[in-house]
Amino acid sequence: MRRSLASLWVAYVLMVLNVFGWLYASLKMALAHGDAPVALAKPINGAMLLANGAADGATVFGGAWWRLITAQFLHVQPLHLALNLVGLYCLGRYVETALGAMRFAAIYFGAGTLGMLASVVAAPALVSSGASQAILGLVGASLAYLSLVWRDMREWRWPSRFALGLGLLYGAIQISLDIATVHTVKSGHLAGLLAGFALGYLLTWPAKWRGTRHATNEQAAIPARTRERL
């Protein structure tokens, strides 16, 4: 892995924003119903989610396209948020370390937005929210990255391997739940996964190709006798 964990920041900012989005909507619902301590443990209803930036067919196709992004920071209940935070922590650190902050942000928001759009198209009457599409995009990006650099995994430290393993386990559990249950949001999850893989491959392959070409040119520039001593 190329970057130290101390240089990471996008994944942590996204985690804070996800917590803030859920807490803000929960507190607004608590104030509306007058049961603040209890409301934090209750699922947030669809009307409150929509009032705070969630997406459905009527709002998105009515011109509020920005909801495809804001909806990614709203979660229905604490467990929903907690599971996504675990996935974001493990996969976010891995992808941001491997590809850098800007590529990581592009994958997260690209996969999340396309996944959210797929959810809205498949079920326009339902309220869509959550970061699952974006995090499954990170699963796809991780798989794309591994397909290109798997030979270098022996050089990784065990915390990186462990975090990646947990992140991929999250993806496997989410996909298994999608297969086992009947709900239309699986289209959004699938779109996020595929978009993440495509973006991960496109953003990884040029850098890997340039690095391989640079290494080959450097190797060719070393005299034969010098190479024999290496």
Catalytic residues: 132, 189
CA–CA distance, 57 with 152 (Å, rounded to integer) = 44
Task: From residue 162, give the alpha-carbon distance in Å to each of 59, 100, 157.
Answer: 41, 19, 9
- The encoded tokens of residue 24 equal 């803000």
CA–CA distance, 83 with 90 (Å, rounded to integer) = 11
- Do 134 and 109 meet the contact criterion of CB atoms below 8 Å apart? yes
CA–CA distance, 7 with 119 (Å, rounded to integer) = 34
DSSP 3-state of 55:
strand
- The encoded tokens of residue 25 equal 């909507």
Place of tokens 């947030």: 44
Helices (H), the chain: 10-33, 36-39, 46-51, 57-60, 67-70, 78-99, 101-122, 132-149, 158-180, 186-221, 224-229
CA–CA distance, 130 with 48 (Å, rounded to integer) = 14
CA–CA distance, 42 with 54 (Å, rounded to integer) = 17
